[in-house]
Structure 1
């Protein structure tokens, strides 16, 4: 008898998502895609979140489909939630591969309180980044570099119509390299710079306030800048009290070893001390074995290769593969090999 989907790890069809910025060239090494930039610079991983793209009407845009049957992930979760989620209400996290060929607009994401009030959502958009690969001079922008008044910032918003880089003068520029980890709290100004391939974990929304008028050569419309809010309300999202090098320093995280045995190291990358919203862990296997024991966890192989094993189940996996572990399947499978495995779980 063929097993039910919720009895095994669930793999998905590819899920490149449209954005107004160019990127994706670095996906070639991780996902085997053509080595070129385009307007599908994000891969949404085991996603149950709809992408918010101005003018797009597909209700399933951004939502993953299962590998063989093409069933929307949202449909699976709604039909038998207890099998997939256990005692959770939802997955609680959105995970992406993202490769930027250009600097993205200076932006901010809402706190849960702001999102509840203005978008009727229980989730804001705190997020974390694991840098996977870079191009030359790759960087991010993180936090105001000095005290910036709201009046000065509003003037910069207007100036950005003719000076695309005016906001970079008051935001910390941080060079990055593979392996760097950052946590970006809601309310903190930031932008991904050109040349970053990263794995992003975040609260499960697509809420971005980006008051710069340009994204590269693309002129943003007001919906894309302010998500239907008035500019005055949207700018309330920015926390002007956080500035200086200390903000950037606090955002950079160092892995914490949770357990180490022969051939296996288990690390915490983002945990409860950083945010209650989600957590991110890593397993580094050098011939070792790790249990797949996080119910409703999203797993991503970022380096190497190995094999998932369970009762009457064996599947080879390698860099760029990802899967969702239904709650019903937790603790029934292991992974072995020489690889790095990231697990993201909602808070």
Structure 2
């Protein structure tokens, strides 16, 4: 993958956390209050069914259980836990816990993918988390143990889903639309009984709420997750997850622009640090000279094993 192609993939993947950063404004301005599970259900299931109808591909063989596992980690567990933590934690603490995702992905990548974490990636993850904390963390009283547990579990669930998504890849001939549809549908079906059991019948919706839910399902979820899973297949898990801080940064900017919230000099500094760490995390690693020579000799000596149908190297960035 060339530098230009890598930058394009990273930019498109970055749209996913940017879209996710709009969730707070849409939820507070348009949706009925105190319905986190119903909101999670409406985000996941309609979007999943729509993508399944468009892709017209169902899982086969082992991908039935793989899709269920990924759907549980990325959607079914992540959505309810995320909303639970947001309702119970003050001052953006849920976003701070969530910003630890890149560090969790580094650890899980070493465990599941055998990739030794680079010092640069560890530093980028730590700086991003620190920058996000400067933007969203405010003074608060005693912490809610359930909220902190939910926030950390949600982050760990999404991190594990990100690493497994890259580990398993996609079946032959299956695109990002189908893979995303499988996960959203599986996750939505897991959320549905919990939502109706704990929150009862769906609330009455006015025009604004209907529009808000439509936006969350189509743009915030269907399109965003297609871009996200497509990016995971082309970037490293660490590069993808280091785009995550763009979500709370987007929420902070929209809070200032739409809701009239103020941004202090400290918050602006935190935004600069988090954004800089995000950009640094996308830079390609230097390749050792011996590795470059070895790769060059292999490429010149035989093309049958390292060139795909398009004539480009099979190497995945």
Structure 2 length as normaliser, TM-score? 0.26
Between the two structures, name the one with larger relative contact order (CA 8 Å, sep ≥ 6).
2
Answer 1 or 2: which has greater strand percent.
Answer: 1
Answer 1 or 2: which has greater helix percent.
Answer: 2
Structure 1 length as normaliser, TM-score? 0.25
